[in-house]
Amino acid sequence: MSVKEIYDPFNYATHANPYPIYRELRDNHPVYHNQTNNFWALSRYQDVVFAARNFKLFSSAKGTSLEYVGELAPILIDSDPVMHTRLRHLISGEFTPAHVARLERRVRDYAQRLLAPLRERGEFDVIADFSAKLPMAIICGLLGFPEQDEDMLRQWTDDCVHRDEGVFEMPEQGLIATQNMYGYFEEQMQARRRKRQDDIVQKFVDSEDKGQLSHEESLGYLYILSIAGNETTTKLIGNMAWQLDAHPEAIKRLADNPALIGQSIEETMRIDGPTHMMARTTTADIPLHGKVIPAGAKVALLFMSANRDERKYPTPDEFVLDRNPKDHLGFGGGIHACMGAALARLEARVAWEEIFKLTDAFEVQQDRTQRMHSPQVRGFTHLPIRFNPRRTAPAH
Amino acid sequence: MIRVTYRTQNGEDYIAEAMDGMTIMEAALSAGVPEILGLCGGICSCATCHVHVDPEWAAKLTPPDDEEGAMLEAIDHKAPTSRLGCQVRLDDSHDGLLVHVFDVS
């Protein structure tokens, strides 16, 4: 007879609406222990920040998933300094706001190309027709993967993050997709050895030759970049549609004044950001709120609970366009904070600028939405909207 | 080992033993310096790793690039030796570095 767990990220009902569960954790179980799968969870803003910053006490070296996901390749997010330091700085300079700003034209051209044929239809699927494609095209461009491979790669990354209901491990489909991706990266790297290209894959090949990176590290790095560069921004763009659907007045303000789109993205990242949780492993006993998390325990850092902590933000469950939070944990925090945050912000902003050129009034068709199922990432796989095509251009 | 001292406004010192290639921000987190938040993880976009480099050391660091310079323009407590900790990579030549940090909350 299993215990009924308050927080079970492998239960699909949790994905439908985790927020009442998070509030229960914050109020009554700030140091929560899930006995069924033997992990802990931190849910208050202050505690999550504490854990995210203290990378020595809360290590990433044993992975950032709660469950078993196969033998770990050396991956940036699953590492501590000094390995983390070496891997991150290899390409982190290319993800600063000024560097990614150079990609704006490319992002906009592609967004326009995707949206143009939808204009007269009066409806489209924000995810399937648009936001599933845009970030994948951009990250594939940076990595150097050919356009015709994008759909295949997207399917693989979707398979990698999907979890079957109630099953505390990566399903076979995900393990197969992981193998396929590693095989694909291997081919790509070999192709760069035959003929040089100006892309990240080439950079890794060169770094291997200089002894700065092992081959396994290259493959692991490409794996995490492919997944992170695709899954989360896709869901962010969709989650903003979901939030705006409940706030028609915000739609009107954004349509009238696209300069507010940036802060709308920040508030979406706070209230409904795609990355709900990352796991750590404790390296010492940690006394907190009258309990002790033992050394060697898996701990879920609940970023989206922290972002709705009443102790941090007033009226945390309300989407407030003018809140413009700068200290939310939508991109995590500390040395593992999302390396692609500036790129995600750019892609989401341009995506929404282009959507608002298409329409100034839309509604989500709520009965036709579908959610993805992952213990860590939350968002839609289908999010159809009906819209009125815009007759007047937005002010700029 | 590269020893970096973070001195608070109260004169309290935190000493980090940084590894080669770490940034001032990362070393601060490893030493638990409360004043350095490092919220954005080092992509030069939150300025929560702002430090004043001790004047004796300022000239020994690679100067800020344009992007860091632009961020520094916009922050509180700006001083002539202000730097974003995430943009300063450490090596053996920085052993003994002293930076000043302040309570930002």
User: pLDDT per residue over A350-383, tens digit each?
Assistant: 999 999 999 999 999 999 999 999 999 999 999 9
Residue written as token pair 């504490």:
A50
Distance from CA of A361 to the nearest CA of B (A): 32
Q: How much is the average pLDDT of A51-78? A: 87
A395: pLDDT confidence band, cut at 50, 70 and 90?
low
Q: Report pLDDT digits (tens) over A189-206.
A: 999 999 999 999 999 999
Is A2 a member of any domain? no
Is A396 a member of any domain? no
Instruction: Give the domain CATH number at A227.
Output: 1.10.630.10
Q: How much is the average pLDDT of B33-53? A: 91
ω into A82 cis (within 30 of 0) = yes
Partnered with residue B30 across adjacent β-strands are: none
The 3-state DSSP class for residue A371 equals strand
Longest CA–CA span in chain B (Å) reads: 33
Is A4 a member of any domain? no
* pLDDT for A156 beyond 60: yes
Distance from CA of B29 to the nearest CA of A (A): 6
Q: Would you state the pLDDT for residue A74?
A: 76
Q: Would you state the pLDDT for residue A247?
A: 97
Strands A286-288 and A277-282: unpaired
* pLDDT for A230 beyond 90: no
Q: Would you state the pLDDT for residue A356?
A: 98
Q: Which of B21, B39, B67 sits opposite A85 (nearest CB)?
A: B21
Q: How much is the average pLDDT of A277-301? A: 98
Q: How much is the average pLDDT of A337-352? A: 97
Q: Would you state the pLDDT for residue A1?
A: 42
CB pairs under 8 A between A and B: 76
What mean pLDDT is reported for chain A? 95
Q: Would you state the pLDDT for residue A396?
A: 58
Cα nearest neighbour of A325 on chain B: B46
Please check whether residue A254 is in contact with residue A316, taking contact to mean a CB–CB distance below 8 angstroms: no
**Domain locations along chain B:** 2-65+82-100
Is A168 a member of any domain? yes
Give percent of chain B above pLDDT 70.
Answer: 98
Better-scored residue on pLDDT, A37 or A393: A37
Residues in A closer than 8 angstroms to B19, CB to CB, are 81-82, 85
Distance between CA atoms of residues A23 and A166, nearest Å? 22
Domain B2-65+82-100 -> CATH class: alpha beta
Q: How many domains does chain A have?
A: 1
* Rg from Cα positions in chain A: 21
Q: How much is the average pLDDT of A383-388? A: 97
Q: How much is the average pLDDT of B12-16? A: 97
Distance from CA of B80 to the nearest CA of A (A): 23
Q: Report pLDDT digits (tens) over A110-127.
A: 999 999 999 989 999 999
Q: Which of A85, A86, A327 sits opposite B39 (nearest CB)?
A: A327
Partnered with residue B18 across adjacent β-strands are: B2
Q: How much is the average pLDDT of A4-19? A: 96
Per-position DSSP letters for A297-365, written without gaps between them: -EEEEEHHHHTT-TTTSSSTTS--TTT--SS--TT--GGGS-TTHHHHHHHHHHHHHHHHHHEEEEEE-
Q: Report pLDDT digits (tens) over A38-57.
A: 999 999 999 999 999 999 99
Is A190 a member of any domain? yes
Is A6 a member of any domain? no
Cα dist. A10→A344, A378, B46, B101 in Å?
26, 12, 33, 42
Phi, psi of A34 (to 5 degrees): -90, 110
